[in-house]
Amino acid sequence: HLALGHTRYSTTGSNRLENAQPIVVEHPQLGSIAIAHNGNLTNTQLLRDDLEHNGVRFKTSSDTEVLAELVAHTSGSDIVSVLRRALELPVVSGNVSLYNETSERNIPPTPVIGMVGLLDDLSLRCPAGFQDDGDIVFLLGETREELAGSEYLRLLGAPLEGRPPIVSFEAERRLQTAMLDSIGRGVLRCAHDVSDGGLLIALAESALYAGRGLRCPGIAGPVSREAAYFGESQGRIVVSVAPRRVPELQKLM
């Protein structure tokens, strides 16, 4: 048997028995994990509030339990390796900072992933701006009722809380494979990711990049107008295609 113990000043939380380290949690892939740490998490309350909002029930007042639950609710052995295995991407580096600040104010946690890509034929590069008058614009990927953490809510002054948009590695893999195939066949005229600000921002950026306008009727779907226009559901791309090649795109997708 192996025992692990740690004594720590009760600078965060009280000196009650339930705050004694290590803190043991269950990870869905790795099983039981025992964590002991020294030092203080400077954004403990922010992390604790977010975890509680997502259903975590804390048993102690220690920030070590916050750290342990954060680990327990992160899928895979580590974020970078999960992305690399799931999407077969050439990840060369990565960093996740749980606490950042600028101009003496806090900013949200910032994951950074570094990757390298190789384009064998420059003639196959796919620009982000709309290219030709008369092209038809499509939104690829699924839009869900997801507004938590969005630029839309931030501009409205809403609190930064709630469950972030769902990420499906399998759906992302299928979409990116189809995108590469479509670009390689010369089907797509442009492609632009939908990210900060949602669909309307992506459409506006594609129009501005190429100096072309866009006729966009009302967008209907199974979600609210706010989520359709400004939601930041993951795995979505705006593309344009010549009318005669629409059937090819539909087959590839």
pLDDT tens-digit profile of 104-144? 777 766 667 777 777 888 888 899 999 999 999 999 999 99
Provide the 8-state DSSP code for 32.
E
Helix (H, G, I), strand (E, B) or coil at 100: strand
Of residues 71 and 83, the one with the higher pLDDT is 71
What is the rounded distance in angstroms from the CA atom of residue 231 to the CA atom of residue 229? 6
241 three-state secondary structure: strand
Read off the pLDDT of each residue in 175-182 and give the average, rounded to a whole number.
Answer: 91
Per residue in 133-175, pLDDT (tens digit) is: 999 999 999 999 999 889 999 899 888 778 888 888 788 888 9
Distance CA 230, CA 236 (A): 13
**Among 215, 15, 225, 218, which Cα is nearest to 135's?**
215
State the pLDDT at residue 1.
Answer: 46
**pTM reported for the whole predicted model:** 0.63
Portion of the chain with pLDDT greater than 90, in percent: 34
Residue-level pLDDT at 98: 58
Supply the mean pLDDT for the chain: 80
Q: Are 36 and 64 in contact (CB under 8 A)?
A: yes
Domains defined for the chain, CATH in brackets: 17-72 (no CATH), 79-115 (no CATH), 122-252 (3.90.650.10)
Cβ contacts of residue 16 below 8 Å, gap of 6+?
60, 61
Check residue 95 and give its pLDDT.
Answer: 63
* pLDDT, position 45: 80
Mean pLDDT of 84-113: 65
* Spatial separation of the C-alpha atoms in residues 71 and 78, rounded to whole Å: 9
Name the residue type at position 117. G
Which of 141, 123, 133, 245 has its CA nearest to residue 192?
A: 141
Q: pLDDT digit string (tens) for 191-215?
A: 999 999 999 999 999 999 989 888 8
50, 149 in Cβ contact below 8 A? no
